[in-house]
């Protein structure tokens, strides 16, 4: 990691705990309107439609479409799956719930870790989230990013190589000078393939207590840590 | 300004004092190598090539090219104008001097004003600078941006309408919900034409003590202030 100048972060799951945050907001939405639902199951179902929606863009079947739009379309589908007619909710209520993705809470070590990492590295998200989503989230959660690089900048979705390479390009750095920090081995594998440096931070309850994936580093990533504060220590940040 | 949610800022001249900063770095560059030069004249000459270089892009004669590249090309031209062969300097020295545009100092009221404005508004640059330039400058100068929206995001140079409209679009706001804050009447006129709200902050020595342009608001902009701290007060930010 000696030559690394910038740390770029996967966001959903690595920086923020999307599942707890979405479940909380979805639970409140349902409680007001209908009945108790399994809010975590709803969060999981909404998230499950994330990759297939982006795959339409990655494959070229659909032009680049920002994540806010994909989330909103998926919300209507998942509400229908839960037996609710989205048309009865009204645009304003659906938009407000969709913006829950702008209000995700950080993991407990995130803000303290980023503040230390920022003293030595340029720090920015490298997320499939769009700029407005990431910027609002940064303001909500107090994430001290040096820049917000939303997916509109690369106009490509990870794990497409362009997502990693164009990020290095806009930072005016060589790929190896940029390290992706992520809790997902497949994201890191794609980043390494594109020439970036890599760091794994375990997030063993991203998907709840029964999580079976990404519990540990599956390759010899350049750095492996248990938390952002542990990462800061391992990278020599005071 | 009641409906305004985001303030986006012209940067060169409005947020930072490019002339003094560039003159200081250019003066040091020349002093080490050659002789005393008129460093302010050099800064002015370098800056004078800024608009014509962007006009090549705006006109479509040249594909979108980021400002770091335009600045670097212009540096070689202006060195030649000052009687210096850029080839003798070497790439590393030229790159280092070109990066002076990443290290511009804020006006004395900038950081304090932005910190207050940020409590009530989403704040971001709307500059012709590229992302790396703006992000490095933000880190150097301590500018508390909520997002960095470099020219790569809009892929258009002000005063093209796309530069303003695509910025509102990536913020997921209506144009009138976004106010451009600038020290330049022509920038504000183009922003208003595109439907944005507008605020003028006078920077009467941007071009030195003999400045004759942009000394005052030339239209009834939505807000007019003498400094960023005055702007914060006028917009009701504690």
Q: What is the pLDDT, as a whole number, of residue B33?
A: 75
Residues A51-85: pLDDT tens digits?
Answer: 999 999 999 999 999 999 999 999 999 999 998 89
Residue B1 lies in a domain: no
Number of Cβ atoms within 10 Å of the Cβ of B5: 16
Query: Which residue, B82, B102, B122, sits at the end of a domain?
Result: B102
Residue A207 lies in a domain: yes
Residue B229 tokens read as: 């701290």
What's the CA gap between B201 and B214, in Å, rounded? 10
Q: Are A122 and B139 within 8 A, CB to CB?
A: yes
What's the CA gap between A206 and A22, in Å, rounded? 12
Q: What is the pLDDT, as a whole number, of residue A132?
A: 93
Is the domain of B208 the same as that of B130?
A: yes
Residue A176 lies in a domain: yes
Is residue A171 within 8 angstroms of chain B, CB to CB?
Answer: yes
Residues 6 or more apart in contact with residue A216 via CB below 8 angstroms: A202
Residue of B nearest to A172 (CA): B132
What's the CA gap between B187 and B54, in Å, rounded? 14
Q: What is the pLDDT, as a whole number, of residue A153?
A: 85
Residue A184 lies in a domain: yes
Residue A1 lies in a domain: no
Instruction: Count interface pairs A-B at CB distance under 8 A.
Output: 55
Helices (H), B82-170: 91-98, 110-118, 131-141, 151-154, 161-170
The backbone region for B214, taken as left when phi is positive above 0, alpha when psi lies in -120 to 50, beta otherwise, is: left
Q: Are B170 and A148 within 8 A, CB to CB?
A: no
What's the CA gap between A207 and A63, in Å, rounded? 30
Residue B136 lies in a domain: yes
Q: What is the pLDDT, as a whole number, of residue A154?
A: 85
Is residue A177 within 8 angstroms of chain B, CB to CB?
Answer: no
Q: Are A147 and B148 within 8 A, CB to CB?
A: yes
Query: Would you place residue A33 in the very low, low, confident or very high pLDDT band (cuts 50, 70, 90)?
Result: confident
Residue of B nearest to A141 (CA): B146
Q: Are B146 and A134 within 8 A, CB to CB?
A: no
What's the CA gap between A216 and A224, in Å, rounded? 9
Is the domain of A96 the same as that of A135?
A: no
Provide the CATH number for the domain around residue B55. 1.10.150.240
Which of the residues A170, A177, A178 would you substitute to probe the B interface, choosing the one with the greatest number of B C-beta atoms within 10 Å?
A: A170
What is the pLDDT averaged over residues B169-182?
Answer: 96
Q: What is the pLDDT, as a whole number, of residue B140?
A: 94
Is residue B121 within 8 angstroms of chain A, CB to CB?
Answer: no
Is the peptide bond preceding residue B93 cis, with omega within 30 degrees of 0? no
Query: Would you place residue A129 in the very low, low, confident or very high pLDDT band (cuts 50, 70, 90)?
Result: very high
Is the domain of A123 the same as that of A210?
A: yes
Q: What is the pLDDT, as a whole number, of residue A149?
A: 82
- In chain A, what is the greatest distance between 2 CA atoms, to the nearest angstrom? 56
Provide the CATH number for the domain around residue B213. 3.40.50.1000
Identify which of B132, B139, B147 has the shortest CB distance to residue A131: B147
Q: Are B147 and A153 within 8 A, CB to CB?
A: no
Containing structural domain, residue A109: 6-17+105-234
Is residue B218 within 8 angstroms of chain A, CB to CB?
Answer: no
Is the domain of A34 the same as that of A128?
A: no
ipTM: 0.84
What's the CA gap between A204 and A12, in Å, rounded? 13
Query: Which residue, B102, B124, B156, sits at the end of a domain?
Result: B102
B-chain CB neighbours of A120 within 8 Å are none
Is the domain of A229 the same as that of A131?
A: yes
User: Is the Cβ–Cβ distance between A17 and A106 less than 8 Å?
Assistant: yes
pLDDT above 80: residue A36? no
Is the domain of B202 the same as that of B111?
A: yes
Q: What is the pLDDT, as a whole number, of residue B103?
A: 96
Residues B28-64: pLDDT tens digits?
Answer: 988 877 677 899 999 999 999 999 999 999 999 999 9
Helices (H), A101-209: 110-118, 131-141, 151-154, 161-170, 185-193
B-chain CB neighbours of A153 within 8 Å are 131, 152-153
Instruction: Catalogue the long-range contacts made by B194-197 (C-beta closer than 8 Å, 24 or more residues apart).
Output: B194/B161, B194/B164, B194/B165, B195/B164, B195/B165, B195/B168, B196/B164, B196/B168, B197/B1, B197/B3, B197/B4, B197/B222
Identify which of B132, B138, B170 has the shortest CB distance to residue A170: B132
Q: Strand A178-182 and strand A197-201: pairing? A: parallel
A-chain CB neighbours of B122 within 8 Å are 135-136, 139
Is the domain of B148 the same as that of B228?
A: yes
Q: In angstroms, what separates the C-alpha of B223 from chain A's closest C-alpha?
A: 25
Query: Which residue, A77, A102, A127, sits at the end of a domain?
Result: A102
What's the CA gap between B202 and B68, in Å, rounded? 27
Residue B26 lies in a domain: yes
Q: What is the pLDDT, as a whole number, of residue B150?
A: 79
Is the domain of B115 the same as that of B206?
A: yes
User: Is the Cβ–Cβ distance between B235 and B225 less than 8 Å?
Assistant: no
Residue A23 lies in a domain: yes
Please, which residues 52-91 of chain A have a Cβ atom closer than 8 Å to chain B? 68
Residue of A nearest to B68 (CA): A172
Q: Are A135 and B124 within 8 A, CB to CB?
A: yes
B-chain CB neighbours of A139 within 8 Å are 122, 146
Q: What is the pLDDT, as a whole number, of residue A134?
A: 95
Which of the residues B103, B133, B135 would you substitute to probe the A interface, choosing the one with the greatest number of A C-beta atoms within 10 Å?
A: B135
B-chain CB neighbours of A172 within 8 Å are 68, 132
Is the domain of A200 the same as that of A82?
A: no
Q: Are A135 and B150 within 8 A, CB to CB?
A: no
Is the domain of A22 the same as that of A133?
A: no
What is the pLDDT averaged over residues B68-80?
Answer: 96
Is the domain of A77 the same as that of A184?
A: no
Is the domain of B113 the same as that of B230?
A: yes
Q: What is the pLDDT, as a whole number, of residue A37?
A: 82
Q: How many domains does chain B have?
A: 2
């Amino acid at each position: 990691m000696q030559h690394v100048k910038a740390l770029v972060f996967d966001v959903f799951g690595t920086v923020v705990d999307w599942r707890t945050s979405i479940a909380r907001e979805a639970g409140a939405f349902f409680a007001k309107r209908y009945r108790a639902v399994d809010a975590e199951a709803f969060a999981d179902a909404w998230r499950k439609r994330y990759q297939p929606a982006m795959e339409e863009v990655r494959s070229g079947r659909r032009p680049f479409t920002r994540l806010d739009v994909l989330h909103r379309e998926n919300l209507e589908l998942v509400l229908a799956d839960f037996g609710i007619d989205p048309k009865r909710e009204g645009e304003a209520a659906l938009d407000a719930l969709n913006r829950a993705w702008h209000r995700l809470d950080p993991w407990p070590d995130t803000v303290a870790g980023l503040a230390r990492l920022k003293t030595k590295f340029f720090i920015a998200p490298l997320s499939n989230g769009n700029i407005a989503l990431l910027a609002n989230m940064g303001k909500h959660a107090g994430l001290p990013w040096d820049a917000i690089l939303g997916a509109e900048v690369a106009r490509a979705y990870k794990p497409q190589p362009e997502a990693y390479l164009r990020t290095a390009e806009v930072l005016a750095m060589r790929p190896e000078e940029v390290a992706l920090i992520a809790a997902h081995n497949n994201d890191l594998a794609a980043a390494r393939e594109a020439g970036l440096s890599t760091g794994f931070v375990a997030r063993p309850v991203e998907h709840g207590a029964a999580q079976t994936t990404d519990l540990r580093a599956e390759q010899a990533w350049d750095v492996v840590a248990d938390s952002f504060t542990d990462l800061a220590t391992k990278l020599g940040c005071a």
